[in-house]
Amino acid sequence: MNLAEWLVRSAKLCPDAPALVLGDRVKADYRAFAQAASSLGAALAGSHNVRPGDRIAIFAGNSTEYLIAMYGAWFAGAAIVPVNAKLHAREAAWIVENAGAKLAFVSRDLGNDFAPVAPECCKAIVDLQSAKFEALAGGEERSHPVPRTRVDMAWLFYTSGTTGRPKGVTISHGNLHAMAFSYFVDVDPVTSADVALYAAPMSHGAGLYSIQHVLKAARHAVPESGGFDPVEILESAKRLQNVHMFAAPTMVRRLVDAAKAAGETGEGIRTIVYGGGPMYAADIIEAVDVMGPRFCQIYGQGESPMTITALPRHLVADRNHPRWRERLASVGTAQSCVEVAVVDEDGRMLPAGETGEIIVRGAPVMAGYWANPEATANTLKDGWLWTGDMGALDEDGFLTLRDRSRDVIISGGTNIYPREVEEALLTHAGVHEVSVIGEPDPEWGENVVAFVVANPGHDVSPETLDRHCLETIARFKRPKSYRFVDALPKNNYGKVLKTELRAAFKKEEAEKA
C-alpha cells in the first residue's frame, strides 16, 4: 500500500485538523495538506513525466514544504531520495546521479550551488519556496495515489560505507509500514492531539517519523529557525504542547543544558526519542533528573530504519531495578517486528554476555543496496542484516553496543566515514598518507582527527588542508585537528593500525592534561 494513502485517510476523517505548522502558526489543515500533495503528484506525473518507481531527490533544509514534496512524490508513485542538507553540492550531485533521480526539490541556498553541478538525469530543479513549487502544489488534484505494493521502493537513503562512496539503501513502503507500527508498540503512542517537531534533519529519521504522525492526523511543526535551537524549542513547546521530537544525543545534551540554565523542565514536551549515536549514561541520568520521564531511546540504521531496538520511557526513567544502570547503558531490547542476535565472524550465535557482530532480520530490513549487488551480498546473509556494529545481549535481551567495526565516526548524530575524509585529503599534492580516527568529545560525541604524512616541500598546514577539504566535502566532515607524523603504523599487510593511532592520540592528550 502506498504510504500516501494514510494522508488521504487522515484528510477524510479529520479534514479540519491542523497539519502543517511553522513555529506556532498553522499553515495548512489536513484537507489542504492532502490537496497540495495530491496536486503535486498530478503535476509530477503530467508536467514532468514522473512514472511509478522513478526517483525524486530532496536536497533541502527543514520546512513544511518538505513534507508536501515527500507525500507528493509518493502520490505519483515515485521513491524519495533524501539528501543531507549539510552535504557539499558535488556530493549531492553524485547521489542524485547514482539514484537516477528525474527531479530535485531544493532549498534556495542549496539549489544555487547544486544547479551548476546537477547531473543530466535531473531534468528539473524546483525551489521549495518558489512560486513554481506553489503552482505545482496548487493545480489539479489526483483522485488517489498511484497504487504501490509493500515491496515497492519508497525511500532511497544514501549511507556511506568504508569504501568512501555512499550506498543507496532501498527501503520499501512495507518496510516503513513496519517502522510505523513498531513505533506505536515499542516506542510511544501518537494521537491527533500530538505534534511532531522537526528540529533534527528531515532527510533522516525525523522525516521518516512523519509517517506515523500523518497516520494519526497529528500536527507537524517546523521551528521558525528551521533547525535545532534549544531555547526556541523550549519556548515553542510551551505553546504547542504534546510535542514529540527526535534528537541526537548531542542535541539532548544541549537541550538539557538550556533547560537547566533557564530553570525549566521542558514543559510541553511529551517525548524525546534519542538515537543516532552513543548516549553517555551520565547524560541521560541528568536529562531525566532535569526534564523528567520524557525520553525514549531507539537503535537502528539506514538499512533497518529506527527499528532494531528500543528503550521506552519507563525503562529510561527506572531507578528501582537492581541493574537499572546497566539497562540504561544499553540500547534496549529488540523491537516487535525484528529478531536481533549477536554472532561470531562465522555467523554462530553467541551466548548472553559475549561480544560479537549484531545482526537483525524482520519486516523493516532493507531489500538491498541500490545497483550494488556486491555490497548487498556482503551485508544480507541468509535473511539477516549484518550491521557492522559490535555488541552483547544480556540474559534479559538488553543489547549493549561495544564498538563499531567499520570505524564510523558519529559527530552530532551524523555519521562521518573516515575513508571519505582520507580520500579527500589524499587529493592534496602535499599529502603522502593519511589516516582518520574519531576522538571523544563531550558535546558532539566525536570529532574527526587526521594523522598526516606530508610530502616534502609542500604547504600542508591545517589551514591549507581545511581549505582543500571545503572544496570537496561537507564542512562538518573536515578534521577538527591534524597530527603531522613521519609514518603511519601498519601491519605486515600494509594496513594502517588505527588502534595504535587511537592509543597514541589518547596518550598524547593525557600528557597534555
The mean per-residue pLDDT over the stretch 452-462 comes to: 89
pLDDT number for residue 162: 41
Q: Tell which residue, 161, 166, 162, 225, has the closest CA to residue 198.
A: 225
One domain, residues 372 and 428: no
| CA 94 – CA 324 distance, rounded (Å) | 46
Q: Tell which residue, 300, 371, 372, 378, has the closest CA to residue 338.
A: 300
Question: What is the percent of the chain where pLDDT is above 90?
Answer: 79
Which H or E run contains 285?
helix 281-291
Taking 90 as the threshold, does the pLDDT of residue 271 lie above it?
A: yes
The cell for 193 is 492531539
pLDDT number for residue 494: 55
The mean per-residue pLDDT over the stretch 393-409 comes to: 83
| CA 211 – CA 215 distance, rounded (Å) | 6
The mean per-residue pLDDT over the stretch 328-332 comes to: 94
pLDDT, tens digit (0-9, with 9 covering 90-100), for 230-246? 999 999 999 999 999 99
Q: Is residue 400 part of a domain?
A: no
One domain, residues 126 and 261: yes
Q: Tell which residue, 22, 124, 109, has the closest CA to residue 73.
A: 124
One domain, residues 377 and 418: no
Question: Is 351 within 8 Å of 344 (Cβ atoms)?
Answer: no
Q: Tell which residue, 388, 493, 487, 506, has the closest CA to residue 437.
A: 506
The mean per-residue pLDDT over the stretch 287-296 comes to: 97
| Contact partners, residue 68, CB within 8 Å, separation at least 6 | 20, 33, 36, 37, 40, 137
Q: How confident is the model at residue 16 (pLDDT cuts 50, 70, 90)?
A: very high
Bigger pLDDT: 1 vs 495: 1
Taking 70 as the threshold, does the pLDDT of residue 491 lie above it?
A: no
One domain, residues 345 and 449: no
110-141 CB burial, b ≥16 within 10 A, e <16: bbeebeeebeebbebbbbbeeeebeebbeeeb
pLDDT number for residue 362: 98
The mean per-residue pLDDT over the stretch 24-51 comes to: 97
Q: Is residue 404 part of a domain?
A: no
The mean per-residue pLDDT over the stretch 28-37 comes to: 98
Taking 90 as the threshold, does the pLDDT of residue 402 lie above it?
A: no
Q: Is residue 203 part of a domain?
A: yes
The secondary structure of residue 303, as a DSSP letter, is: T
| CA 55 – CA 79 distance, rounded (Å) | 5
Axis crossing angle, helix 418-426 with helix 462-470, rounded to the nearest 10: 110
pLDDT, tens digit (0-9, with 9 covering 90-100), for 428-441? 989 988 999 998 88
pLDDT, tens digit (0-9, with 9 covering 90-100), for 62-91? 999 999 999 999 999 999 999 999 899 999
Residue 306 bridge partners (DSSP)? none
Bigger pLDDT: 439 vs 21: 21
Taking 90 as the threshold, does the pLDDT of residue 497 lie above it?
A: no
Q: How confident is the model at residue 445 (pLDDT cuts 50, 70, 90)?
A: confident
Residue 495 burial (CB count, 10 A)? 10
Q: Is residue 401 part of a domain?
A: no
CATH number of residue 286's parent domain: 3.40.50.12780
What's the mean per-residue pLDDT of the chain?
93
Which H or E run contains 74?
helix 64-75
Q: How confident is the model at residue 493 (pLDDT cuts 50, 70, 90)?
A: very low
Domain that holds residue 282: 4-391
One domain, residues 354 and 480: no
pLDDT number for residue 18: 98
pLDDT number for residue 268: 98
pLDDT number for residue 405: 61
Name residue 207's amino acid.
G
Q: Is residue 403 part of a domain?
A: no
The cell for 52 is 511509478
pLDDT number for residue 98: 98
Our separate counts of H helices and E strands in the chain read: 18, 26
One domain, residues 423 and 347: no
Helix (H, G, I), strand (E, B) or coil at 482: strand
pLDDT number for residue 513: 67
pLDDT number for residue 278: 63
Question: Is 262 within 8 Å of 47 (Cβ atoms)?
Answer: no
| CA 165 – CA 423 distance, rounded (Å) | 10
Q: Tell which residue, 243, 312, 237, has the closest CA to residue 274.
A: 312
Question: Is 449 within 8 Å of 505 (Cβ atoms)?
Answer: yes
Answer with the one of 391, 424, 442 that is the final residue of a domain.
391
One domain, residues 311 and 439: no
One domain, residues 292 and 188: yes
One domain, residues 347 and 494: no
The cell for 345 is 565472524
Question: Is 338 within 8 Å of 304 (Cβ atoms)?
Answer: yes
One domain, residues 493 and 380: no
The mean per-residue pLDDT over the stretch 222-234 comes to: 96
Q: How many domains does the chain have?
A: 2
Measure CA 114 to chain center: 21
pLDDT number for residue 432: 86
pLDDT number for residue 240: 98
CATH number of residue 506's parent domain: 3.30.300.30
Q: Is residue 292 part of a domain?
A: yes
Q: Is residue 399 part of a domain?
A: no
One domain, residues 170 and 59: yes
One domain, residues 446 and 373: no
The secondary structure of residue 2, as a DSSP letter, is: -
Q: CA distances (Å), 418 to each of 113, 201, 410, 434, 499, in order?
A: 25, 22, 11, 10, 14
pLDDT number for residue 406: 62
Q: Is residue 501 part of a domain?
A: yes
pLDDT number for residue 492: 46
pLDDT number for residue 443: 83
